Amino acid sequence: MPHFAANLSMMFTDVPFLDRFEAAAKAGFTAVEFLFPYDHPAEAVGDGLKRNGLTQALFNLPPGNWDAGEKGFAALPERFDDLKRGLETALPYAQATGVKRLHLMAGIANRSEPKAVEQFYKSVTWAAEFFAAYGLDVVIEPINARNVPGYFLNDFGFARDLITELKIPNLKLQFDIYHCQIIHGDVTMRLREMMPITGHVQIASIPSRNEPDGEELNYPFLFTELDRLGYGGFVGCEYNPRGKTTDGLAWFKPYAGVKP
């Protein structure tokens, strides 16, 4: 049975961030993820988890000025120092939460520009080697161009080729089913192909990015497929609830309380 992680940046937003851990636990989640914890002290985030018996599935490395449109630096040669500083910033949060994987964002850059590609390889290698010393994985995620126009990493084949070429044991794919369906379709065959390099999975309905209980994809089929493929990682619920988060959790009832 999949082990779902509530995404606390998108779910339970009717309460302040640090109160969302309790809200997720009360709703039956045993794991959480979020985009960025950096507005809060690492200890407070770690306490929120521990007090509620939750496991941290994932969070993102610092992206730069998110509100100004920055989406990470990994493909931006002129921002390599910022990227390196970001790894240091994330470390205390990783230690306070006990998370085992971190998402490295590529940034807004042109993939047909050789310097951006070269920098992406360099940054990904640097970050993976940095976190290997702490027993952490680094994941990279293809993101569709409708949600993030100009995002460098917008192709699952490119991510797969890079991961298989680099052969860095703690470098893996963040397989967001929502993005995969929008970019390529053929999600089941891609899950089958890329399962050996997949370190994290995320879900949402397509095209609305709401609860995984309707629209384009048959999620119960995909959840069974993840089990059949032997996926033992987390499935992040990275969706915008249609209304109050708890009112949209009927899909989750059979999975509530599942532990790894």
Q: How far apart are CA 172 and CA 199, in angstroms?
A: 5
- Residue 137: name its binding partner from ligand LPHNJNCV, Mg ion, none (Cβ under 5 to 8 Å by kind): none
Annotated catalytic residues are 141, 238
Which of 157-180 are b and which e, b meaning 16 or more Cβ less than 10 Å from the residue's Cβ? ebbbebbeeeebebbbbbbbbbbb
* Nearest to Mg ion of 46, 163 (CB atom): 163
Q: How far is the CB of 253 from ligand LPHNJNCV (least distance, A)?
A: 25
| Contact in structure between 31 and 75 (CB atoms under 8 Å) | no
Q: Does residue 60 belong to the site contacting ligand LPHNJNCV (CB under 6 A)? A: yes
Q: Determine which residue in the list 54, 141, 159, 173 makes contact with ligand LPHNJNCV, applying CB under 6 A.
A: 141
Query: At CB < 8 A and 24+ separation, what contacts does 9-14 make?
Result: 9/34, 9/35, 9/36, 10/237, 10/238, 10/239, 10/240, 10/241, 11/237, 11/239, 11/241, 11/245, 12/245, 13/245, 14/244, 14/245
Find, among 257, 240, 164, 229, the residue nearest to 202 by Cα.
Answer: 240
Query: Closest residue (Cβ) to ligand LPHNJNCV?
Result: 176
Restricting to residues 204-223, name those near ligand LPHNJNCV by CB under 6 A.
none
> Residues in contact with ligand LPHNJNCV, total (CB under 6 A)?
9
Amino acid at the residue 77: P
Site string for Mg ion, 53-82 (x = CB under 5 A): ------------------------------
Restricting to residues 128-187, name those near Mg ion by CB under 5 A.
176
Torsion, Cα of 54, 58, 63, 65 (10° steps): -20
Q: Determine which residue in the list 83, 143, 173, 194 makes contact with ligand LPHNJNCV, applying CB under 6 A.
A: 143
Site string for ligand LPHNJNCV, 157-186 (x = CB under 6 A): -------------------x--x-------
> What does the binding site for ligand LPHNJNCV look like in residue numbers (CB under 6 A)?
35, 60, 103, 141, 143, 176, 179, 202, 238
